[in-house]
């Protein structure tokens, strides 16, 4: 009986709001991160969307969180699809060149290392992102043609729609 009483008191203390704590008057905690979607077992977290938006890793970065999440979903769908094929390895020079383009896209004086630290990412992670981006670009070109080819955008959009359907995404 005494153990039950102590357990009840401890539970009440843990659940009670504490002034100045992360819990508000209504007992709601502060959300740090959350899973937005799972694509073939890989989670897309709110922090992933934030990182892609802040670091402008997807063309949709300025279009809002929903557009960034959709771009990340499509990226994971394409990466999953690439596991069926033998993706061409992007060489170090190509990765360095892609990173240079990304770096040059920022206004002069932008402190990219500070932005990366703010997002919790590393140079290796950024290089990995660009490696995958180059592999995806080569895979997409192989599948639907070169950028600018007639009908390429239509083929690409139909393909992405099919991948999203297979993964039960809208």
Q: Give pLDDT tens digits for 7-62.
A: 434 343 334 444 444 444 456 777 789 999 999 999 999 999 999 999 999 999 99
Residues with Cβ < 8 Å from 163, sequence gap 6 or more? 74, 77, 78, 81
3-state helix, strand, coil in the chain (%, to 5): 60, 5, 35
Look at residue 105 and give its three-state secondary structure: coil
First to last CA, the chain: 53
Q: Give pLDDT tens digits for 104-142.
A: 999 999 999 999 999 999 999 999 999 999 999 999 999
Sign of CA dihedral 111, 57, 120, 97: negative
What's the angle, vertex CA 20, arms to CA 19 and CA 23, rounded to 5? 80
């Amino acid at each position: 009986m005494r153990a039950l009483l102590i357990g009840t008191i401890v539970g009440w203390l843990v659940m009670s709001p504490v002034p100045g704590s992360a819990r508000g008057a209504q007992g709601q905690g502060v959300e740090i991160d959350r899973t937005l979607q799972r694509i073939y077992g890989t989670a897309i977290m709110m922090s992933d969307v934030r990182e892609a938006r802040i670091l402008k890793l997807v063309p949709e970065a300025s279009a809002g969180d929903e557009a960034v999440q959709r771009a990340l979903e499509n990226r994971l769908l394409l990466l999953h699809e690439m596991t069926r094929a033998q993706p061409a390895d992007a060489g170090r020079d190509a990765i360095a060149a892609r990173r240079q383009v990304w770096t040059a896209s920022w206004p002069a004086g932008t402190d990219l290392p500070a932005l990366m630290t703010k997002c919790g990412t590393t140079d290796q992670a950024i290089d990995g992102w660009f490696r995958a981006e180059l592999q995806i670009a080569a895979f997409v070109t192989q599948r639907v043609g070169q950028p600018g080819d007639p009908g390429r955008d239509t083929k690409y959009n139909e393909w992405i729609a099919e991948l999203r359907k297979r993964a039960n995404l809208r």
